[in-house]
Amino acid sequence: MKPLAYHVLRLLADGEFRSGTALAQASGASRASVWNAVQDIEAAGLEVYRIRGRGYRLAQPVSMLDAGRLAQLLGETAPFNLEIVDEAASTNTVLLQRAQTGAPHASVIAAEWQRAGRGRMNRPWHAQIGGALTFSVLWRFSQGAATLAGLSLAVGLAVVRALESYGVTGAGLKWPNDVLWRGRKIAGILIEMQGDALGPSVVVIGAGINVRLSQAMDKRIDQAAADLETICGHAVDRNQLLAGLLGEFNAVLLEFERAGFQAFRDDWQRRHVHQGCSVRLTLPGGVRESGVARGVGDDGALLLETARGVRPFHSGDVSLRAAGRLS
């Protein structure tokens, strides 16, 4: 969408009626330009009511990100360098590019809308404006990539803890980096690294959380999905949610630097949705392995009990599917 459309969307975000004249005056634009902006908002998937004599109103209020409010919510407990953008193809891609030109430690980019969000194995992440929380965090480690095994699992745990603090119960973790609610995906994580094997290294952590799924968006997603507003039964304040997530990220990443994944292993396994389940793994090249998920190792590898004994599998391009519950 064009910048004017985002400006008009913020004016309409509370779900109250605004006249075309009032929107034009507040935007420094003509009424015709406001009308075009409303069309852009509708084209992006948001429903706008038009009533003669009253003006425009969103069918549902939208929680827009606000840098000032986020700064208040975060305080000094999580000193991130936070930037909010209207839209980006991928917040991970933006931060990876900035990392090469010296972007500071703990940089964060949150986007109102990701046009081309992506997950593991380059799978698309679908979301509409206001319907998801999509952001990326740049974290500089003194260690090399070889010492960061299990990081995606630790970050997944941080997401679950933040959701629980927000009031979500029943969230669990699917190895290696998905967050599920009653078997339906509610959040995903993508971690990308730069640097030398022995260090230092730069990690960009992307997260996407479903906040509100329209029927049209739900149909575009190729797996069972859940959203926070349906789970919680009320509108979600994305600023409060993002502040909680960043607070957990800060705590988990600092502890991970100190002690690695083993500090989180037991807590992760308590939330492991496939613990004791029969699962199928699809490995690179289409090779398949079946067995019982027996947790994870100190390095985050999935421990799969097979006919040949317990074997570790590292994430890479491995895909996991449940095959039933065992005792």
- pLDDT tens digit string along 148-201? 999 999 999 999 999 999 999 999 999 988 999 999 999 999 999 988 777 789
| Residue ranges per structural domain of the chain | 3-58, 67-269, 274-325
C-alpha–C-alpha distance, residues 288 and 306, integer Å: 12
Mean pLDDT of the chain: 90
pLDDT at residue 219 tops 60: yes
Per-residue pLDDT, 275: 93
C-alpha–C-alpha distance, residues 264 and 249, integer Å: 13
Residues in the chain: 327
Helix axes 31-43, 20-27, angle to 10 degrees: 100
Cβ neighbours of residue 213 closer than 8 Å, sequence gap 6 or more: 131, 221, 225, 226, 227, 230
* Residue 121: how many other CB atoms lie within 10 Å: 10
Question: What pLDDT band is residue 317 in, cutting at 50, 70 and 90?
Answer: low
CATH class of 67-269: alpha beta
C-alpha–C-alpha distance, residues 327 and 306, integer Å: 15
pLDDT at residue 122 tops 80: no
What topology does CATH give the domain 3-58? Arc Repressor Mutant, subunit A (1.10.10)
- pLDDT tens digit string along 8-36? 999 999 999 999 999 999 999 999 999 99
- pLDDT tens digit string along 55-96? 999 999 999 999 999 999 998 767 899 999 999 999 999 999
Percent of the residues in the chain that have a pLDDT greater than 90, as a whole number: 74
Percent of the residues in the chain that have a pLDDT greater than 70, as a whole number: 93
Per-residue pLDDT, 222: 67
DSSP characters over 171-217: EEEETTTEEEETTEEEEEEEEEEEE-TTS-EEEEEEEEEE----HHH
3-class secondary structure, 96: helix
Tell me whether domains 3-58 and 274-325 share a fold: no
DSSP assigned state of 13: T
pLDDT at residue 124 tops 70: no
Question: What pLDDT band is residue 120 in, cutting at 50, 70 and 90?
Answer: low
DSSP characters over 223-242: S-B--HHHHHTS---HHHHH
pTM summary value: 0.90
> What sign has the CA pseudo-torsion 180, 181, 182, 185?
negative
The residues that are catalytic are 120, 185, 321
Q: Are 175 and 153 in contact (CB under 8 A)?
A: yes
Per-residue pLDDT, 310: 94
pLDDT at residue 108 tops 80: yes
Per-residue pLDDT, 319: 80
Question: What pLDDT band is residue 223 in, cutting at 50, 70 and 90?
Answer: confident
More confident residue, 162 or 143: 162
Average pLDDT rounded to a whole number, residues 279-291? 88
3-state helix, strand, coil in the chain (%, to 5): 35, 30, 35
Average pLDDT rounded to a whole number, residues 240-245? 96
Indicate the CATH number for domain 274-325: 2.30.30.100
